[in-house]
Amino acid sequence: MSVGVSLDQQWARIRGRLKEEVGEIAYRSWLQPLSVASLVGGEVRIVVPTRFMRDWVLTHYADRIRALWSGENPEVQSIDVIVASTNPPAALVADNDDIDDDRASPAPRGPSPHPASRPAPRPAPPSGASARPSGSGEPASYYGNASQAASTVYTSASYGGASDESPNAVPAILEDRSDLSAALDPRFTFENFVVGKPNELAHAAARRVADATTVTFNPLFLYGGVGLGKTHLMHALAWQIRKNDPNRKVLYLSAEKFMYQFIRALRFKDTMAFKQQFRSVDVLMIDDVQFISGKDSTQEEFFHTFNALVDQNRQVIISADKSPSDLEGMEERLRSRLGWGLVADIHPTTYELRLGILQAKADALQATIPLKVLEFLAHKITSNVRELEGALNRIVAHAELVGRSISLETTQEVLHDLLRANDRRVTIDEIQKRVAEHYNIRVADMHSARRARAVARPRQIAMYLAKQLTARSLPEIGRKFGGRDHTTVMHAVKKVDELRATDPSFAEDVELLRRMLES
């Protein structure tokens, strides 16, 4: 039986019921991408974009869909969920008069046509293909399978939008992949990456993924604080993959640019081009994924892009400043997917690693720097590698420009502002240790659930000092105190402020602890 309007109308009513039952988020994630293909011999055939989605629908929704459809049409006895073809057409062109997702139709297969300066006519749907009723408001498929939708040709000639002289021309929304991918720093290679205990797991995992001929970990998720080497490893991965196989399509960009491209695609109603471009690569690398926290639409598109690539056995590599489980403002389903493969963290640097980085950097600069200067810098600048390298660049530049030799005295003089800033930095661990010693309790009590005043009051003081002496946010402070909520930290700060105002002895204790930590 070929698909007719009545079958589409039945499916539209069923989807309306499902949306009411499962809620907006679950519906958009798992049910909106489904489309009906045919009804033959009492069996409805439903099309999904990926194998992962097919398995999920069969497990969680198949029985309910069959029951609802039997109520709509007694002829329906069973349903079959199949995966749509993922072979993209050689070239995709957007029709300016029919660009909405809910009117997308299959593009013709065959040889790649020569890029044209005007939109190509959209072909009629093939016999037996599902056609949505006009004005349904639903996209043909949220995933935007390339074989099911038309899109913009990625050519530099068409990029930049339509000219004033040709109002009917269609702007090319997305850039060519070579332009979209961020520039790689030639200094950031595996050969220039100094390996130590804090980063050895992340380095080994990155090397394994870069050199593997098959997908080993998917995704590879690298995380660590600012300036600890995440971006260096990401660039090194991209360089090595391209070196091993120049034909592999590697797309490396920041999460911010991913969001920017998605917003542009929405603005110009060209999401099909966006989907095709990001889902046709062999390796997708997204840096600083925490940037999309709290941005629901971008997260949803990234979620589906991620699933589509993993389903096709394409490599995904992600970096962030926190582990997937600690990414605030990120949907639970996305956090779960990001932790699916291998999560490798980069710890704060040790003295030995900082010294090794300084020595490697000095060799690269071909500068003669006394060992005691390098040791001094490794001891004093502990925050991040980027700041450490910046300090070394400053003293080398000063020596070259002023003509003075590098010594411990000139280093202290040139870096006086940086050294003073680092001297003022205090960690939450140090605060907890010092407060615990002062009140004669265990450091473990700072993380425990004990509420006795002998433990709770010092814990509140430590939270207060962490808020005053560090740049950590309230949720971050709460996590360092046994996973407490940020409202607990707010209460502790307020309570300590009140006690300081009414109890001089208490205020003196807190001030003494502050001076000890800042000294």
The pLDDT tens digits along the chain (519 residues) read 334 447 888 888 888 888 888 777 777 778 888 888 888 888 888 998 877 778 778 878 888 888 888 888 888 888 888 887 434 333 333 333 333 333 333 333 343 333 333 333 333 333 333 333 333 333 333 333 333 332 222 222 222 333 333 333 333 333 444 456 778 888 899 998 989 888 999 999 999 999 998 888 889 999 988 888 899 999 999 999 999 998 899 999 988 889 988 888 888 887 888 888 888 899 999 999 988 888 888 898 899 999 889 988 999 999 998 889 888 888 888 888 898 889 998 888 888 888 999 998 888 888 889 999 998 888 888 777 888 888 999 999 988 888 888 888 888 888 887 777 665 567 888 899 989 988 989 988 898 888 888 899 999 999 999 988 887 788 889 998 988 988 999 999 999 999 998 988 898 888 888 877 765
Dihedral pair phi/psi, residue 305, rounded to 5°: -60, -45
Amino acid letter, residue 364: A
What sign has the CA pseudo-torsion 55, 56, 59, 62? negative
Say whether 229 counts as a known binding-site residue: yes
Distance CA 400, CA 403 (A): 5
Burial class (CB in 10 A: 0-12, 13-18, 19+), 403: exposed
Following DSSP, what letter does each residue of 174-216 receive, concatenated? SPPHHHHSPPPPTT-SSTTPPP-GGGHHHHHHHHHHHH-SS--
Say whether 230 counts as a known binding-site residue: yes
pLDDT at residue 214, as a whole number: 86
Distance CA 386, CA 318 (A): 20
pLDDT at residue 113, as a whole number: 36
H runs (alpha helix) in 224-287: 230-244, 255-267, 271-278
**Residue 195 neighbours by CB under 8 Å, 6+ apart:** 203
Helices (H) and strands (E) in the chain, counts: 21, 8
Q: Mapping DSSP to helix (H, G, I), strand (E, B) and coil, where does residue 68 land? A: helix
Residues in a beta bridge with 80:
45
**Closest to 304 (Cα-Cα) out of 505, 30, 71:** 30
Distance CA 326, CA 12 (A): 39
Amino acid letter, residue 277: Q
Q: Mapping DSSP to helix (H, G, I), strand (E, B) and coil, where does residue 346 land? A: strand
Relative orientation angle of helices 385-402 and 416-423, to the nearest 10 degrees: 160
* Domains of the chain with bracketed CATH: 5-83 (3.30.300.180), 180-346 (3.40.50.300), 351-423 (1.10.8.60), 428-518 (1.10.1750.10)
CA 200 to mean position of chain CA atoms: 22
Distance CA 194, CA 358 (A): 10
pLDDT at residue 423, as a whole number: 58
pLDDT at residue 422, as a whole number: 62
What sign has the CA pseudo-torsion 357, 358, 359, 364? positive
Say whether 249 counts as a known binding-site residue: no
Q: Terminal CA-to-CA distance of the chain, rounded, Å?
A: 82
- Integer angstrom CA distances of residue 125 from 37, 46, 121: 13, 18, 12
Say whether 478 counts as a known binding-site residue: no
Cβ atoms within 10 Å of 120's Cβ, excluding its own: 18
**Closest to 334 (Cα-Cα) out of 316, 314, 313:** 316
Q: Is the pTM of this model over 0.75?
A: no
Find where tokens 């010294």 sit. 355
Distance CA 69, CA 502 (A): 70
pLDDT at residue 6, as a whole number: 74
